[in-house]
Amino acid sequence: MARRKAEEPASIEGGWINTFADLMNLLLCFFVLLFSMSTVDADKYEQIVTSLSESIDIFSDGGNAVGEGAFVSSGTSQKISMEEYFNEFENSGQDQELKDDSTEISDEEKYKQKLQDQLKQKTEEIYAEVSDKAAAKKIQDMVNVNMDEQYQYVQISLNGAILFDSGSDEIKKSAVPLLSKVGDILKIYDDHMIKIEGHTDNVPISSSTFKNNMWLSTARATQVFEYFTNQKHMDPKTLETTGRSQYDPVADNKTEKGRARNRRVEIKIYTEE
């Protein structure tokens, strides 16, 4: 009888795989057990979320925390939050530009106010000086000194009846001393622009010399101009003349007293040199 060959033992080369799989299962169970026993500090998590929200304002529409089983909200809500964030960022830049513009406007207004205050102060000084000079020369009762409401000039007003006869542009001899004293005052401001204006009432003129009141008022202003330049040697470059006729009344032309006030010569000393 032939001898039977002994059977070889089964190969155990792949046996470690089963062992490794068992190990992985045990580790997974272990970490699941650990996670199930762990707790989430909800207060601390809420503080972190609040801090981030205040800093960048981007998670305000986010979902629930990890402890509640969700990381963020749906993609649509998150997208909207992102758009809001960038829109707010752009708007903040525009707000800053508007704030800068507002600051510039404020600075400009302050500068204008400073110039206006300086102009007011200078005009008040000239007004006080002219008033004092008129009093010193004893002509304060024959001239009217006042100041522009916008502080552009100081004005010396002379009654037309003192300077001229009715319908004439020739300066009366009796008015020369008055004009001479006024000229002495004006020479102090010879570097300022000085405007001489002739005014009349609204009664039509009946004269072969002058066509109308505009011509008469202009001629009277020119006569005063020539007196100051020829007799007081004032600089004609700083003197200006104009006729205003009846168009700038200071009183009602319906009365004789009002018409008398309207017939005048005004001399304006402008504050700015």
In a domain, 211, yes or no: yes
177 and 71 within one domain: no
Q: How far out from the chain centre does Cα 168 lie?
A: 50
In a domain, 37, yes or no: no
239 and 149 within one domain: yes
147 and 111 within one domain: no
pLDDT band at 75 (very low <50, low <70, confident <90, very high): very low
Per-residue pLDDT tens digits for 244-257:
999 999 999 999 99
What's the pLDDT at 94? 62
* Mean pLDDT for the chain overall: 83
In total, how many domains does the chain have?
2
- What token pair was written down for 206? 């009946």
Per-residue pLDDT tens digits for 105-159:
688 888 889 989 999 999 999 999 999 999 999 999 999 999 999 999 999 999 9
CA distance 137 to 182: 9
Per-residue pLDDT tens digits for 167-204:
999 999 999 999 999 999 999 999 999 999 999 999 99
What's the pLDDT at 74? 46
Of 23-32, 87-96, 143-152, 207-216, where does mean pLDDT reach its minimum? Answer: 87-96
Q: 111: which residues sit within 8 A by CB, 6+ positions away?
A: none
Per-residue pLDDT tens digits for 94-118:
666 666 666 666 888 888 899 899 9
In a domain, 41, yes or no: no
142 and 106 within one domain: no
96 and 144 within one domain: no
Q: What percent helix, strand, coil does the chain show, rounded to 5?
A: 55, 10, 30
> 172 or 208: which carries more pLDDT confidence?
172
The CATH number linked to 152 is: 3.30.1330.60
200 and 117 within one domain: no
Q: Cβ(220)–Cβ(164) under 8 Å? A: yes
Residue 112 belongs to domain spanning: 48-121
198 and 109 within one domain: no
pTM greater than the 0.75 cutoff: no
151 and 99 within one domain: no
213 and 145 within one domain: yes
Q: Of 121, 146, 167, which closes a domain?
A: 121
Q: Of 121, 149, 177, which closes a domain?
A: 121
- What token pair was written down for 22? 């068992």
263 and 160 within one domain: yes
CA distance 216 to 204: 11
253 and 144 within one domain: yes
264 and 177 within one domain: yes
DSSP secondary structure of 10-37: PP-TTHHHHHHHHHHHHHHHHHHHHHHH
